[in-house]
Amino acid sequence: MPQKDSNAIATNRKARHDFHIEETFEAGIVLRGTEIKAIRAGRVNLKDSFARVSRGELYVHNLHISEYEQGNQFNHEPTRARKLLLHRKEINKLSGETQQKGYSIVPLKMYIKNGVAKLLIGVGRGKKKYDKREDLKQKDMKRDVERALKDY
């Protein structure tokens, strides 16, 4: 069984099922108000989120950070577009790669590093249905082999 990442607040397990991830980048994320408190409480959902380059800047969309319970009127909007912080070279590279057909920028994991929220994003090519079935077959075969070795 894979080791659980101790500093991960949220992971997007569906991303590796739906995409062939070819390259990953660590990006900072611009937050407002009570968002960091909600992140530290683990109230984050990466499931349907995606990133897009617009006007030379990288933004993540549909990243759901729930409202902070004690936030009263200063609470944030849960699914607003949030700016990601990367070097210019990296943004240009991402922009070039997503111009190709079938490539997307997908958030994989959110974690806190040195007191700062980080988002691990990956450039991936969408899988076809037969690719997903093949992956499930491989996973089942690997599980069967591990089970057989454990019993032996």
Read off the CATH number of the domain in which 25 is found: 2.40.280.10
Identify whether 147 is part of a domain.
Answer: no
pLDDT of residue 3: 46
In this prediction, residue 1 carries a pLDDT of: 38
Instruction: Please answer whether residues 36 and 119 qualify as being in contact, where contact means their C-beta atoms are separated by less than 8 angstroms.
Output: no
- pLDDT under 70: residue ranges of the chain: 1-6, 71, 74
85 occurs within a structural domain = yes
Question: Is 143 part of any domain?
Answer: no
The span from the CA of 53 to the CA of 142, in Å, is 38
Residue 34 contacts residue 71 (beta carbons within 8 Å): yes
| Cα–Cα distance for residue pair 101/143, rounded to 1 Å | 34
- 141 part of a folded domain: no
The answer as to whether 26 is a domain residue is: yes
pLDDT at residue 103, rounded to an integer: 86
Say how many domains are in the chain: 1
Does residue 103 sit within a domain?
A: yes
Which residues have a Cβ under 8 Å from the Cβ of 80 and sit 6 or more positions away? none
Question: Within a domain: residue 1?
Answer: no
Does any domain span residue 51? Answer: yes
Range(s) of the domain holding residue 107: 8-127
Question: Which structure tokens are listed for 148?
Answer: 């057989």
Return the beta strands (E) in 1-136 as ranges: 8-11, 19-29, 44-45, 50-54, 57-61, 64-65, 82-85, 103-113, 116-126
